[in-house]
Structure 1
Amino acid sequence: MTEGGFEREPVALDARITSDGSTAWPVEAGRYRLVVARACPWAHRSVIVRRLLGLDPAISMGIAGPLHDERSWRFHLDPDCKDPVLGIEYLGEAYRAADPDFDAGVTVPAMVEVSSGKVATNGFQQLTLDFSTQWTAHHRPGAPDLYPQAHRDEIDEVIASFYEDVNNGVYKCGFASTQEAYEKAYGELFGRLDALSERLADRRYLVGDTITEADIRLWVTLVRFDAAYHGHFKCNRQKLAEMPVLWAYARDLFQTPGFGDTTDFVQIKQHYYGVHHTINPSGVVPLGPDVRPWLDPHGREALGGRPFGDGTPPGEPVEGERVPSIS
């Protein structure tokens, strides 16, 4: 690794929740609570997949606020600053319930067993794939196939192509502590975004003609780009709004049920600008950018494609999970 480069720590509780009883954590409706934060892209993709597949009756959702400290993500937006189901103030309490000696990173998303209050898994890379493949008995009628068998190899390959350079790449830029590390990450980030622009110039989605896991994983980074990464993380060759193909692609998905209606730009900015004190010591949160252009026509329908394949759009967000709308 280049000196001064950012390296993401591996998750510590990466067990899987499976349908066949092959792991310690079986699929069971009502047993787990998905803890997320609106600000976090890794958590956001689990929110999107849960909503598209209609898993909300089977998996409840707790939402940590955008601010946290050394004690971990905190439920500071809930009454009495406690999650109403788990009864905890800090997510770290659920990690220590699973392992009293836990001293690694407390991350979202995390699946917490409601009865014991223990984190079952924070394996963010596998979690959404398991929502698609292990929780099928609890999918809603008309749930889309986000990880179709015929395209899995290509989906995995595409995801792998942009994970380090884009999903993780924005963090490599933002947390680089040397000029050399920053410039290396910056070049890799925009080189990959240019390649993705070429790929998406004549196709509506990354793989096949429907929305897949690959689109969800790329999009959660794109939707935060101008609000946080362009300025806060110094990813400033161009704004997303100045990259025509990716900007249209991102707007197309934003206007698709499950994407824009799970996005909270206010909490995104509150988190990035309010928590990373080494980058933004003042904690001042910018008022911009104007988010209304996310609703502008995108023209991507001309490329064809069927957003949900043979499935249907999800219904309205459930009460208590709505985000502020753009007006």
Structure 2
Amino acid sequence: MSVTPLAAHHPSDRPGPAFRGRIGRDARSGHYAVPRRYRLHLSPADPDGLRIAVTHSLLGLDTACPVTVLPAVPDCPDGGHSALRPLYEASAHHYTGPALGPVLSDDWSGRIVSTHGPDIARDLARRFGGGRPSLYPCGAESEIEAVQRMCAQGVEQAAQRAGSADADPGERAGALDTLLDTLDVLERGLAAQSYLISNQITAADVELWVTLVQLDTVHRHHLDASAVRRVAGHPALWAYARRLTTHPAFGRHLDLDGIARRHEARCQGLEAAGAAVQILDWTALALDADRARPQVERP
């Protein structure tokens, strides 16, 4: 099955072509679910990589779909990963762009199936998730998509604009209002229930948790202290983030040093006073998650 590079469509996607192959139900699909046929290449310091890593762990796919962890900061002058270059060159004739993650590759063909983070997460859950927790419950697709849009536009993009050095004061104030309004909506929902749209963890919770990680470890560095305190003033929301972080499938993938190095390498904004107002102690929470992991006895 050939895969043609397409334009990226997800708000978190990076510029450049994306491969949009999908894993189907059976052999007629070309790509279909076979244990150990596919491999993930990702960096947990990247938001898309972190979403996929958490999804992969929630589904217990360590054996069925191995993971190759990429460095937090790409090692090529064009911003790509040298380890991914052979896959890109095998998958796209005369490919000259950066070799970026995340990547789902097919070990049978040595080619890329997909570089589109949301598609990869969905296919892992739907095609390899038999007998495992349902991250995309039947009938919840529209709610999950609504949460994804809320996180991308109401939190991620609004936080970026609220801390942008290029925006005028009015734009920054308006963006901060959008951010706080979105957090207010999420706060009201989580004050009444443990998870966003179900009585169990779903893809919506993975999406929101990664967004909150980015908000506190990246975006707050460009907000003033007053704005960060207002962001922090959502107790149910941050208690939810704290609780999920102590879950081994979430906290074990937190690469705080990698997130900081990736941010430093990519960021062109100015640090503001909010950088000193940390909302959660992610390091301590990640250690709690590591302690909670089942210990494997060694002979």
Q: Fold match, TM over 0.5?
A: yes
Q: Does 1:72 align with 2:79?
A: yes
Which residue in 1 is equivalent to 2:251?
Answer: 260
Secondary structure of 1:17 counterpart: coil
Aligned-pair distance for 1:158? Answer: 2.9
Distance 2:17 2:162 in 1: 21
> In the alignment, is the contact (CA less than 8 A) between 1:251 and 1:296 conserved in 2?
no
C-alpha spacing 1:119/1:13, structure 2 compared with 1 (3 Å): same
Select which of 41, 44, 67 maps to 1:61. 67
Distance 1:15 1:93 in 2: 18
Distance 2:101 2:92 in 1: 17
Distance 1:252 1:176 in 2: 33
Q: What is the identity, as a one-letter code, of the residue corresponding to 1:96?
A: E
Give the share of equivalent positions with the same residue, in percent.
26
Larger relative CO (CA 8 A, sep 6+): 1 or 2?
Answer: 1
Secondary structure of 1:144 counterpart: coil
- What are the superposed Cα offsets for residues 73-108 of structure 1, whole Å, 9 maximum, x if unpaired? 43xxxxxxxxxxxxxx33244223211333556443
Q: TM-score normalised to the size of structure 2? A: 0.77
Question: Following superposition of structure 1 onto structure 2, how do residues 190-201 of structure 1 map, counting pairs within 5 Å?
Answer: 190-201=180-191
Aligned-pair distance for 1:120? Answer: 1.3
Secondary structure of 1:56 counterpart: coil
Q: What is the identity, as a one-letter code, of the residue corresponding to 2:56?
A: R
Aligned alpha-carbon RMSD (Å): 3.5
Select which of 153, 158, 162 maps to 2:142. 153
Select which of 265, 269, 274 maps to 1:279. 269
Question: Following superposition of structure 1 onto structure 2, how do residues 119-130 of structure 1 map, counting pairs within 5 Å?
Answer: 119-130=112-123
Which residue in 2 is equivalent to 1:307?
Answer: none
> In the alignment, is the contact (CA less than 8 A) between 1:229 and 1:235 conserved in 2?
no
Q: What is the identity, as a one-letter code, of the residue corresponding to 1:214?
A: A
Aligned-pair distance for 1:24? Answer: 3.4
Distance 2:224 2:27 in 1: 44
- Structure 2 unaligned residues grouped into runs of 5+: 1-11
> In the alignment, is the contact (CA less than 8 A) between 1:11 and 1:123 conserved in 2?
no
Q: What is the identity, as a one-letter code, of the residue corresponding to 2:199?
A: D
> In the alignment, is the contact (CA less than 8 A) between 1:33 and 1:112 conserved in 2?
yes
Q: Does 1:33 align with 2:23?
A: no
Which residue in 2 is equivalent to 1:222?
Answer: 212
- What are the superposed Cα offsets for residues 5-48 of structure 1, whole Å, 9 maximum, x if unpaired? x9964752111122334543222222221011121111111101
C-alpha spacing 1:186/1:70, structure 2 compared with 1 (3 Å): farther
> In the alignment, is the contact (CA less than 8 A) between 2:23 and 2:31 conserved in 1?
yes
Distance 1:187 1:175 in 2: 14
Distance 1:209 1:165 in 2: 24
Bigger shift: residues 149-158 or 56-65: 149-158
Q: Does 1:98 align with 2:91?
A: yes
Distance 1:235 1:24 in 2: 51
Secondary structure of 2:34 counterpart: coil
